[in-house]
A and B are shown apart, each in its own frame.
Chain A
Amino acid sequence: MIHLKNVEKVYRTSSIETLALSNINLHIQKKEFVSIMGPSGCGKSTLLNIMGLLDAPSQGTMELDGNPVNNFQDKALARLRNEKLGFIFQSFHLINDLSVLDNVEIPLLYRRSSARERRLLAQQALEKVGLSNRMSHFPRQLSGGQKQRVAIARAIVGRPEIILADEPTGNLDSAMGNEILSILQQLNSEGATIVMVTHDEAMAKRTHRLVRLFDGSQVL
C-alpha cells in the first residue's frame, strides 16, 4: 500500500544541512497497523509527513498503491491526501471557532459533496467515536481525550484507506491514551491501514509491527 524506497530527507538552510532521514525502505501492507518509534528528533514525524504527502523526499521514491507520487503536482497530491489519507495529530489541530461537527466536516469541504451529505457523514463519524452528544460543542469545551476523538472522527469522515497518527496519545493520560488506541484498533479491524508514531512502547506493542528509527535511519 505504502512503499518507500531508499528515502532520504535533507533539510538545507544557507549554512546548515541536516540529514533527517537516510536510506529508509519500508513497505506497509493494506490493513496493517504499524507503529514507528524512536527518540525525539530521530525523524519519525518527517517519515510520517512523507508518507502523508505533506513533504517530499530529497531522494528515493514513495509509492502509494504502486504509483510513484514524487512528481505529482499540488492538485493531485491534495486529492490523494483528501481521499486516501486521514491524519491525527498529537496537538489535535482543531479549529476553535468551529463546532465539533463543523471541524469534522472539514475534509469533505474539499471534495464534491452536498451539505446534507457532509452533515450525515460527520454525524456518523462522531457517533463512531462516541461523541454524538457533543456535536454542537466547541473544542474549548472538550477534554483532551474528547478533542482527540474529534480529530479521529475528522480523520475517518472521508473514509480514507490509510490513517496516519502522529503521537495521538502524546497529550493524553494513560486511560485516555488506551481509549484512543482502542478506537484505532477498532478502525484497523474494520479495514483501515494505520501508521502511528509513538513514544510509548506499550502502545507500540499493541500494533502489528514496530519500525524503529534512530538518527534518521531505520533500526533493523
Chain B
Amino acid sequence: MIRHLFKLIWNKKGAHSLLIIEIWASFMVLFGVLSLIIYNFTNYLQPIGFSYDRVWVVDLSNNQDTVGVAAKNQRIFDMISAYTEVESASRMSNNTPFSANQMNNNVTYNKISAVPDMYETDDNLYETLDLKLLAGRWYRKEDQVSKFRPVVLNKVLAEKFFQDENPLGKILSKEDKKPFKVVGIVDTFKAKGEFMSNAPAIFVQNESMSDWVQPILIRTRPGTDATFEARLVKDIAALAPGWGIEVSYMTESRQNRHKLTLIPVIIFLIISGFLLTNVALGLFGILNLNISRRRSEIGLRRAMGATGWNVTLQILGEMWTLSLFSILIGLLFAVQFPLLHVFDLAAGVYLWAMVAALLTIFVIVTLCAWYPGQQAARIHPATALHEE
C-alpha cells in the first residue's frame, strides 16, 4: 500500500506542487521558530549560576564632577558596606547581570584561543551574587601583589582550555597585558538571564575599582524595602552632590531581560500560527474538493474491497506521503544549519527542531485530512460509481 501511495502522489506531483511548496514553507517556518524555542528552553533548563534575589544595582554617574572621584567612590562604597541592611556589597564592570552591556576579550592558553565574557570585579562579588564555586577559591586582597592577575573561570571555559587537566594555577595570556592566573572555577554564570546560553566567562580581579565610577551591587537583608532605597539615594547624594544615582532591583531587570527574549519568540509564534492556520484551512479545502472530484475512484475502491476505514486511511496516507515529500525537501535545507554551524547553535537544537517540526506538520496534516477522510469513507459506492 505504501508503494501504491507513493506512486499515486508521484504521478500527480505536478498537480500537488503548490501543496508541496505550502507544506515545505510551513516546515521551514516551524523549524525556525522551534529552533528558537528549543534553544531558549534548553538554556532555561541550565542553572543561572548566581542568586539575584535581594540584589540591587546602584548605577552612579559623576557627570561633570572630576574632583576626587576615586575618593568619593570609595567613601560611597564604604558607606554602603556599613549599612546594617546590606549583607554584602561589590563593585564590578558595567556588564552587570541582566544589563544590556557586554564585554569580552581574547584569552589564550596553549594556542587555544577563546573570547569569553569578561567581568572585572572586586573581591566581594562571589559573596554578593552567591556564586557556586566548583574548585579553588575566589580572588582576595593578597592576590593584588601577585605578578599575575587572578581570575576565576566558569566551567565551560575551563573545559575548553584544559579538558581533563586541573585548571588551578594555570597561566592564561591576554595579548601584551599582565597574564592571568586561574585561582578558581565557578559552575555556570548566565549574566543575561536564564535564556542565555552557558557561554564561557572569566572573572578578573580589578584592584583599582575606585578609580572609575562603577556600578555597585548590593545584597540586602531580607525585609529591606523602599524606605532604605530612599535613604540610600539621599545619603549618596549627600556624599557626592551632582552625581547621578539610579537604583534598580535585579529581579525587575531579570523580568525585563526575559521580555526581550520572549517577545520575539511570541511574535514569531503568532506569525507562524497564522501561517499554519492558513495552510491548515487550505489543506482542508483542497482535500474536500479533492474528495468530491474523486468520488468515482472512492466508489471503485469500495467495490474492489476497501472498507470505510481503508478509504479514510488512503486519504490520510496520501496526505502523509505528500507531507513526507515536502519535509524531505525541507530537511535538505534544515540539515545545512547544523552542518554549517549557522548562528553557532548546538546541533542538538536543530535536530530537535527538525523532529518537532516534522511531528507538528504530521499532526496538522492528520487533523486536516481526518474529517475529509471520514467523509470519503461515508460515500455510498453504488451512487459514486453511477455518477460518472
Residues of chain B from 282 to 338 with CB closer than 8 A to chain A in the complex: 296-297, 299-310
**Is B306 within 8 A of A110, CB to CB?**
yes
Q: A54-B382, A89-B385, A97-B12 are in contact. Are A74 and B305 (CB under 8 A)?
A: no
A127 lies within 8 A of chain B by Cβ: no
B interface secondary structure, majority = helix
B4 at the interface (CB under 8 A from A): yes
Q: Tell me the bound Cα distance from A109 to B309 in angstroms.
A: 14
Roughly how many angstroms separate A102 CA and B388 CA in the complex, as a whole number?
21
> Are the C-beta atoms of A115 and B3 separated by less than 8 Å?
yes
Q: When chains A and B are docked, how far (Å) is the Cα of A41 from the Cα of B302?
A: 23
CA distance A10 to B304 in the complex (A): 25
Q: Are A110 and B385 in contact (CB-based, < 8 A)?
A: no
Q: How far is the CB of B377 from chain A (nearest CB, A)?
A: 9
* Contact between chains at B1 and A109 (CB < 8 Å): yes
- Assess whether B7 is in contact with A107, with CB atoms less than 8 Å apart: no
Contact between A93 and B296, CB atoms less than 8 A apart? yes
CA distance A87 to B301 in the complex (A): 11
Contact with B along A144-162 (1 / 0, CB 8 A): 0000000000100010000
Interface residue A105 (Cβ < 8 Å from any Cβ of B) = yes
The number of chain A residues with a CB under 8 A from chain B is 31
Confirm or deny: A123 has a beta carbon within 8 angstroms of a beta carbon on chain B. no
A107 partner residues in chain B, CB cutoff 8 A: 304-305
Decide yes or no whether A198 CB sits under 8 A from chain B.
Answer: no
With A45-B386, A93-B300, A106-B301: A78-B7 Cβ-Cβ less than 8 Å: no
Q: Are B308 and A74 in contact (CB under 8 A)?
A: yes
B179 within 8 A of A: no
Known: A98-B11, A109-B4, A115-B3. A78 touches B382 (CB 8 A): no
Q: Does B381 contact A (CB under 8 A)?
A: yes
Cβ-closest chain B residue relative to A155:
B304
Interface centre among A45, A99, A106, A158 (most CB of B within 10 A): A106
* Cα-based distance from A81 to B302 in the complex (angstroms): 8
Contact flag A106-B382 (CB < 8 Å), given A93-B296, A97-B12, A98-B8: no
Report the separation of the CA atoms of residues A99 and B302 in the bound assembly, to the nearest whole angstrom: 20
**Is B302 within 8 A of A54, CB to CB?**
yes
- In the complex, what's the smallest C-beta–C-beta distance from A55 to chain B, in angstroms? 4
Contact A74 B307 (CB under 8 A): yes
Among A54, A55, A105, the most chain B Cβ lie within 10 Å of the Cβ of: A54
Q: Nearest chain-B residue to A87 (Cβ)?
A: B303
A67 CB to nearest B CB, Å: 17
Asked if residues B385 and A93 are in contact (CB atoms below 8 Å), the reply is: yes
Taking a contact as CB atoms under 8 Å apart, the answer to whether A110 and B388 are in contact is no
Closest Cβ of chain A to B303, distance in Å, is 5
A contact set with B: CB distance below 8 Å: 45-46, 49, 52, 54-55, 74-75, 78-79, 81-83, 87, 89, 91, 93, 95, 97-99, 102, 105-107, 109-111, 115, 154, 158
Residue contacts A-B, CB under 8 angstroms, 30 given: A46-B382, A54-B303, A55-B382, A74-B308, A81-B304, A82-B304, A82-B305, A87-B304, A89-B300, A89-B385, A91-B388, A93-B300, A93-B388, A95-B300, A97-B12, A98-B8, A98-B11, A102-B4, A105-B4, A106-B300, A106-B301, A107-B304, A107-B305, A109-B1, A109-B304, A110-B301, A110-B305, A110-B307, A115-B3, A158-B305
Beyond A81-B302, A109-B4, 8 additional pairs, beta carbon < 8 A: A54-B381, A83-B305, A89-B385, A91-B388, A93-B385, A95-B297, A95-B300, A106-B301
For the complex of A and B, 10 pairs with smallest distance between CB atoms: A82-B305, A110-B305, A49-B382, A54-B382, A55-B382, A78-B307, A107-B304, A97-B11, A93-B300, A54-B381
